[in-house]
Amino acid sequence: MLQMNAEQGFPLITISSAPSKVSDGAGEDTPLQDRGHWANKTEYLLAVLGHVVGLGNVWRFPYLCYRNGGGVFFVPYLLFLAICGIPLFLLETSLGQYTSLGGVCAWRNFCPLFGGLGYATQMMILHGCVYYTTVLAWALYYLVHSFQPQLPWSHCNNTWNTDSCFQFEGHNFTANVTAIPENAASSIMEFWRREVLQLSSRMEDLSPVSWRLALCLLAIWVLCYFSVWKGVKSTGKVVYFTATFPFFTLLVLLVRGVTLPGADQGIIYYLKPNPTRLADPQVWMDAGTQVFFSYGICMGSLTALGSYNRFNNDCFKDCFTLCILNSGTSIVAGFAVFSILGFMAQEQGIDISEVAQSGPGLAFIAFPRAIAMMPLPQLWAVCFFLMIIMLGLDSQFTGIEALMTSLTDLYPTFIRKGYRRELLLLLLCAVSFLLGLIMITPGGLYVFQIYDHYSCSGPSLLLLSIFQTMAVGWLYGPDRYFSAIKSMIGYRPWPVFKVCWRYLTPILSTGTFFFSLVRWTPPVLAKRLVAPGWAIGLGWLLTLSSVSMLPVWATYALLKTPGSLHKRIYQLKNGNVTPSAKAENKHQNTRLQAAATVEGPKVCLTLGINGECPKV
């Protein structure tokens, strides 16, 4: 039955797990589990922080600063952050908090015509579940090998090394440059390509599966499963460690990095301003995509995580706190990364541009080589790869939690009974694990790069941001949405957010979107292999699998709604958005309509097209 619980001065509609019984269709009554809330604000902040502070903060942002004009890169970055990042961050988290619904149901109820936004974000999460854990499996493989008496990538006396293996040893590099064999490969490169990846020169070589990496991948999925299996009850406890440990490790690496010889030169390369780079449109494109990626915008996770907040949580202040911490982490990570790269460049007697890399090249080639040059290399290797794993795990299991939240909200009377949620999660993890095995084959790195380039691509995120701001700024109305936020936090946000949602954010996102299409080039994969046409075609299918949800859902909604086309659009442009609280709360005196309807013996927590309960 529906049970009203008063908390923080206002009543909430919840479903009590103890007394409530719902017929399962088999003649037996089964308790319907409570949807749950964060135990306290700290759990929410750490969960969102763990989601937005990920690998991109460490291995992408510092390199973009170096490549795009050093300190002047902060100009476009902060502009995109103010116009797109913070407004969209507030929009998504407040929408989840107001409706207490995940991405799919929140957008379907908020703007039924654009309900495909929720489905598009969940498709992106599904793609991320398949390929993102591959990075964590690589990191776990390195972590296991970090406990050996001598780091295996620091020498050429391993079974996988070839006659062309050459050990680059500190200052001896420049002195012995003439002694380097032709077609030489460094010991770290051979460890990465021949031992970890067993990389083929052909993308079509998708067998056999590396059983060592398969075990690492399985271990990562087991960790993800038990971090999410009880919903926010387990996720909220895990983030106390996974969200804080990377910050501690990053601080340790920063202190160690700045004390190394050559660190000052690395930091100069990182921040050295080059104002002429601001004239390059690619710099602005890089800044925009970095903001969208690093803040987890348009991925659906922010809405799901916000949906477990209490109704009167101050999401406006939380938004600024989390955004400052995220960007601050990126900047600090740049000092840690480039101080160590500066040390490595000085030790090898080469220019830092030859060691500055982005993405997996930084985490699995450049940094391990630098670590091998330090005293106590095993210690620093363990710290670094634990940090990589924790950063990735946070982003991964919060994404899975967002997906499970959307599924549970769509079919509450089916999933929130017994152990169905745990079994559904187990099925999701098992299928994702099996699909991920393709990326730990000899040609798996190429598949991974195609996934990374297309499945959660910049154009996809930009397109979704355009439609999100259209839904708020032009269909629902920013004034009405401000009133919804005020009913939660007791005051209206700054008026500049209305300007952003209505004009600035969609204009800037649209310009960046079209520029990304005009400047598009085929991706260059590992070993300088240009992606073949069939791989590019599959990549665009990955992109379309998410963005196509927008027109597909809009068409479905229009066909299911009766009346003329004009009347259908009018009915669907504004949904019956209902707050998660009922009756009065301490911020408004109006009686709020409940976000649930009772129909016979079942409870409908979400409304479908025309106010109908979705079929279970």
Contact between 146 and 364 (Cβ < 8 Å): no
Burial of 217 (0-12, 13-18, 19+ CB in 10 A): buried
Residue 101 falls in which region: left (phi positive, over 0), alpha (psi -120 to 50) or beta: beta
Cis peptide bond upstream of 506, omega within 30: no
Contact between 346 and 268 (Cβ < 8 Å): no
| Alpha-carbon radius of gyration of the chain | 25
One-character DSSP codes across 144-169: HHTTSSS-GGG-S-STT--TTEE---
First to last CA, the chain: 18
**Type of residue numbered 359:** G
Residues in the chain: 616
Helix axes 377-410, 232-242, angle to 10 degrees: 160
CA atoms 410, 414, 419, 425: torsion sign: negative
Annotated binding site: 50, 53, 57, 294, 326, 391, 394-395
Q: Write the CA distances from 446 to 189, 409, 535, integer angstroms.
A: 17, 36, 9
One-character DSSP codes across 335-346: HHHHHHHHHHHH
CA separation for the pair 509, 459 (Å, rounded): 9
Residue 40 falls in which region: left (phi positive, over 0), alpha (psi -120 to 50) or beta: beta
CA separation for the pair 74, 91 (Å, rounded): 24
At 428, list the tokens.
């999701």
Cβ-Cβ contacts under 8 Å for 22 (sequence gap 6 or more):
29, 30, 31, 32, 413, 417, 601, 602, 603
Question: Do the bridges between strand 3-7 and strand 10-14 make them parallel or antiparallel, or are there none, so unpaired?
Answer: antiparallel
Residue 491 falls in which region: left (phi positive, over 0), alpha (psi -120 to 50) or beta: beta
SS3 for 229-267 is CCCHHHHHHHHHHHCCHHHHHHHHHHHHHHCCCCHHHHH
Q: Coil, strand, or helix at residue 32?
A: strand
**Type of residue numbered 306:** G
Burial of 252 (0-12, 13-18, 19+ CB in 10 A): middle
Annotated binding site for Na(+): 50, 53, 57, 294, 326, 391, 394-395
Q: Which of 230, 214, 601 is nearest to 439 (CA)?
A: 214
CA separation for the pair 110, 576 (Å, rounded): 7
At 66, list the tokens.
């170096």
